[in-house]
């Protein structure tokens, strides 16, 4: 999955739930060669340019993640007036788009038009639900604002001064969030209490006696050679002063507000359908994330069928390794036997890094086009590791100034089994998310919203599909690694059942946890965090399996249609060549590719 902080920042800003580049909108790639365009196309690309710039200006964190440093000294304005102004801007942009004659555009610009329209239409549709009044989740929010440093490049003294400016603005940012939370309480729009009970510990990590132990101080721990030695001590002293006198008091006050005024007023229930207009909200989220019109019941039934199919495959692995107990007992064995775990965080990190290097040379078996942008492996920051997922991916900067990074959770290594490392790395790094995002940046002539876009069903569907590509790459020679792949496939099938179960069918949190534990060998630490993630981000987890099923269906369709002409590498490259798009658009493009291949 993508970094949770991005999603939290999006909701807090009242923006679409996608990576900053995607919800910013669009622009023509600066490096793309000039192409003769019609008047309608010129109008379309002018809109893309202007909306991309608006997105960067209105979402400084998104600009920072994309490598644009112009707004590095500020946070997104989440005052109610600014949120309304952004909503008005989205509606105006949609009106401008609809005034363009789509029929007068080239086929490629029609694809740009349709993809841009899809996102804008849903940004406007979701305004009614006022998500911005619930700006925190257990996975991120103002309490973990320091996390943006993972995506910043500190190359000059100005970069450090910009960060100091952001530190000075922390109290105003917190006050704006508190205002949204108060408004949310008045409107009956609050998160589930079971999730919010995790937040006080996250806030407490910002309240330190020693400023150098603050997560916000991290950039000042070391400097590049480009920062003059004479300035380093001055910058460090200023950072200590601002953290001690501004940042820490602001978070101390926020902690008091949260415990006294907010936490007691959060809702007892877990279903998003409990909110005002909640059923319509969940229907919207399911459609938005899956990019389909599937109902909650249809998704639920698909999940049940997939769970049954994968259980049968797991039974075969249990028999193959000679385990004599039941499948439930096999799960317990996989979760608890010490041989499946590393003893220390350092050993676990080294193993993840080695796994990445094991995968890299096998990529030529599944793709002819290897993206140029590199990637690295990093630990998830300690202050968020206990409450977040097993791993996530942070895309590289658009301008190439930052590589992509595969972040792995080293908290409690005794809960991170070795058998999950192959599918996890395939999904989060290569050929999963890193391939998808790095290849997107290399799309020729595409506007930036296409090159940096993120439709969850496409992006996470590709990531889950990439886990199975490990078979084509010869990586699942160990039966326990194959069990890991099946457990990850089951994980995403279970999501279809428990997400719809909790939000549309009245399931309790305990029932969802038990169903997960009964059908997958993931450890209880992971299962509880996952279930809480589905509670906090309704519908998002549906996209993975729905997207994977569609991509797998298109692969089989291509194989049957092309016969001996079918080359898996060409198919995979074609899927990535579309950039991130709704599943219906991907299907149309693959069908057109099949027809072209058959014509020879």
Q: Does 357 share its domain with 506?
A: yes
Residue 249 lies in a domain: yes
Residue 307 structure tokens = 């769970």
Dihedral sign, Cα of residue 8, residue 542, residue 499, residue 393: negative
Q: Does 439 share its domain with 479?
A: yes
Q: Does 215 share its domain with 342?
A: no
Give the end of a domain, one of 532, 548, 564: 548
Residue 280 lies in a domain: no
- Phi, psi angles (nearest 5°) of residue 540: -60, -40
Q: Does 252 share its domain with 159?
A: yes
Q: Is 117 exposed, middle or buried (0-12, 13-18, 19+ CB in 10 A)?
A: middle
Residue 572 lies in a domain: no
Q: Does 396 share its domain with 493?
A: yes
Q: Does 245 share its domain with 348?
A: no
Q: Is 264 exposed, middle or buried (0-12, 13-18, 19+ CB in 10 A)?
A: exposed
Q: Which residues pair with 404 in a beta bridge?
A: 375
Give the end of a domain, one of 266, 297, 325: 266
pLDDT in tens, the chain (600 residues): 766 444 433 333 333 333 333 333 333 333 344 456 899 999 999 999 999 999 999 999 999 988 899 999 999 999 999 999 999 999 999 999 999 999 999 999 999 999 999 999 999 999 999 999 999 999 999 999 999 998 899 999 999 999 999 999 999 999 999 999 999 999 999 999 999 999 999 999 999 999 999 999 999 999 999 999 989 999 999 999 999 999 999 999 999 999 999 999 999 999 999 999 999 999 999 999 999 999 999 999 999 999 999 999 999 999 999 999 999 999 999 999 999 999 999 999 999 999 999 999 999 999 999 999 999 999 999 988 988 889 999 999 888 889 999 999 999 999 999 999 999 999 999 999 999 999 999 988 889 899 998 999 999 999 999 999 999 999 999 999 999 999 999 999 999 999 999 999 999 999 999 999 999 998 888 899 999 999 999 999 999 999 999 999 999 999 999 999 999 999 999 999 999 999 999 999 999 999 999 998
- DSSP readout, 235-293? HHHHHHHHIIIIIHHHHHHHHHHIIIIIGGGSBS---GGGSTTHHHHHHHHHHHHHTS-
Residue 66 structure tokens = 């994309």
Q: Does 21 share its domain with 166?
A: yes
Q: Does 53 share its domain with 178?
A: yes
Task: Give strand ranges (E) for 326-420.
Answer: 375-379, 391-394, 404-408
Residue 581 lies in a domain: no
Give the end of a domain, one of 266, 296, 318: 266
Domain encompassing residue 323: 285-548
For the chain, the domain total comes to 2
Q: Does 385 share its domain with 239?
A: no
Residue 95 lies in a domain: yes
Residue 21 lies in a domain: yes
Residue 348's nearest CA partner among 394, 391, 396 is: 391
């Amino acid at each position: 999955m993508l970094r949770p902080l991005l999603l939290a920042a999006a909701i807090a800003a009242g923006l679409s739930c996608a990576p900053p580049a995607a919800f910013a909108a669009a622009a023509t790639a600066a490096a793309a060669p000039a192409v003769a365009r019609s008047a309608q196309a010129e109008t379309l690309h002018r809109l893309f340019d202007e909306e991309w710039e608006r997105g960067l200006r209105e979402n400084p964190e998104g600009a920072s993640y994309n490598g644009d440093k112009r707004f590095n000294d500020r946070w997104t304005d989440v005052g109610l007036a600014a949120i309304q102004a952004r909503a008005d801007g989205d509606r105006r942009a949609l009106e401008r788009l609809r005034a363009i004659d789509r029929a007068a555009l080239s086929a490629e610009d029609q694809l740009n038009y349709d993809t841009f329209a899809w996102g804008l239409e849903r940004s406007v549709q979701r305004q009614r639900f006022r998500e911005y009044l619930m700006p925190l989740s257990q996975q991120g929010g103002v309490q973990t604002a320091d996390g943006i440093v993972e995506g910043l490049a500190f190359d000059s003294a100005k970069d450090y001064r910009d960060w100091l400016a952001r530190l000075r603005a922390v109290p105003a940012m917190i006050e704006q969030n508190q205002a949204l939370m108060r408004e949310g309480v008045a409107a009956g729009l609050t998160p589930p209490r079971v999730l919010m009970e995790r937040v006080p510990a996250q806030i407490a990590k910002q309240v330190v006696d020693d400023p150098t132990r603050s997560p916000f101080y991290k950039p000042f721990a070391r400097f590049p050679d480009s920062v003059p030695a004479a300035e380093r001590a001055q910058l460090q002293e200023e950072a200590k002063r601002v953290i001690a006198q501004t940042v820490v008091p602001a978070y101390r006050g926020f902690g008091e507000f949260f415990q006294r005024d907010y936490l007691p007023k959060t809702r007892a229930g877990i279903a998003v359908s409990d909110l005002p207009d909640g059923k319509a909200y969940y229907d919207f989220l399911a459609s938005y994330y899956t990019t389909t019109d599937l109902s909650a019941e249809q998704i639920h039934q698909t999940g049940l069928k997939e769970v049954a199919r994968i259980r049968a495959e797991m039974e075969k692995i249990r028999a193959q390794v000679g385990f004599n107990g039941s499948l439930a007992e096999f799960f317990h064995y996989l979760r608890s036997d010490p041989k499946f775990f590393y003893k220390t965080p350092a050993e676990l990190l080294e193993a993840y890094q080695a796994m990445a290097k094991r995968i890299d040379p096998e990529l030529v078996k599944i793709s002819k086009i290897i993206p140029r942008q590199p990637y690295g492996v990093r630990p998830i920051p300690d202050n968020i590791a206990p409450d977040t997922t097993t791993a996530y991916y942070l895309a590289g900067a658009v301008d190439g100034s930052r590589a992509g990074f595969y972040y792995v959770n080293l908290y409690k290594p005794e809960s991170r089994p070795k058998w999950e490392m192959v599918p996890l790395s395939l999904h989060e790094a290569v050929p999963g998310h890193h391939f998808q995002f790095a290849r997107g940046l290399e799309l020729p002539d595409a506007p930036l919203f296409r090159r940096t876009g993120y439709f969850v069903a496409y992006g996470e569907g590709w990531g889950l599909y990439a886990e199975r590509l490990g078979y084509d790459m010869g990586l699942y020679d160990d039966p326990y690694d194959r069990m890991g792949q099946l457990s990850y496939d089951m994980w995403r099938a279970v999501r279809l059942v428990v997400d719809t179960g909790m939000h549309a069918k009245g399931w309790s949190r305990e029932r969802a946890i038990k169903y997960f534990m009964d059908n997958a060998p993931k450890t209880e630490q992971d299962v509880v965090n996952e279930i809480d993630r589905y509670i906090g981000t309704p519908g998002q987890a549906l996209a993975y399996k729905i997207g994977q099923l569609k991509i797998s269906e298109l692969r089989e369709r291509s194989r049957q249609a092309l016969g001996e002409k079918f080359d898996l590498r060409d198919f995979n490259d074609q899927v990535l060549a579309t950039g991130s798009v709704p599943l219906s658009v991907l299907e149309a493009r693959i069908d057109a590719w099949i027809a072209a291949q058959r014509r020879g």
